[in-house]
């Protein structure tokens, strides 16, 4: 018999978990992009207020480029990861 204990996570623990999952997901996407020879770059468009996502892509080697206003009227920062 297996037993699993569930407990409530703190906000900090949830943020750490989410950041780890996001980093792992983006890292896997980058591996796929590198393997696929026709991909030249990976683009992430992130709201400036989304600090967590900006940190994830920055740690993985993306570079912040231009800001622009999207179709919803929000300013977005375009992050680029050159594949080749």
Give the pLDDT of residue 14.
Answer: 57
Could you read off the pLDDT of 44-76 as tens digits, one per residue?
A: 999 999 998 899 999 999 999 999 999 999 999
| pTM score | 0.76
Q: At 25, which CATH number? A: 3.40.630.30
| pLDDT at position 10 over 70 | no
Concatenate the DSSP letters of all residues of 1-65 into one string. Answer: -------PPPHHHHHHHHHHHHHHHHHHHHHHHHHSTT--EEEEEE-TT-HHHHHHHHHTT-EEE
Query: Which structural domain range is residue 25 located in?
Result: 11-82
What's the mean per-residue pLDDT of the chain?
84
6 in a structural domain: no
2 in a structural domain: no
65 in a structural domain: yes
């Amino acid at each position: 018999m297996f037993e699993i204990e569930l407990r409530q996570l703190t906000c900090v623990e949830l943020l750490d978990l989410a950041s780890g999952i996001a980093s792992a997901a983006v890292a896997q996407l980058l591996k796929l992009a590198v393997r696929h020879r026709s991909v030249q770059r990976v683009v992430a468009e992130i709201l400036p207020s989304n600090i967590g996502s900006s940190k994830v892509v920055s740690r993985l080697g993306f570079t912040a480029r231009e800001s622009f206003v999207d179709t919803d009227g929000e300013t977005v920062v375009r992050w680029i990861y050159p594949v080749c």
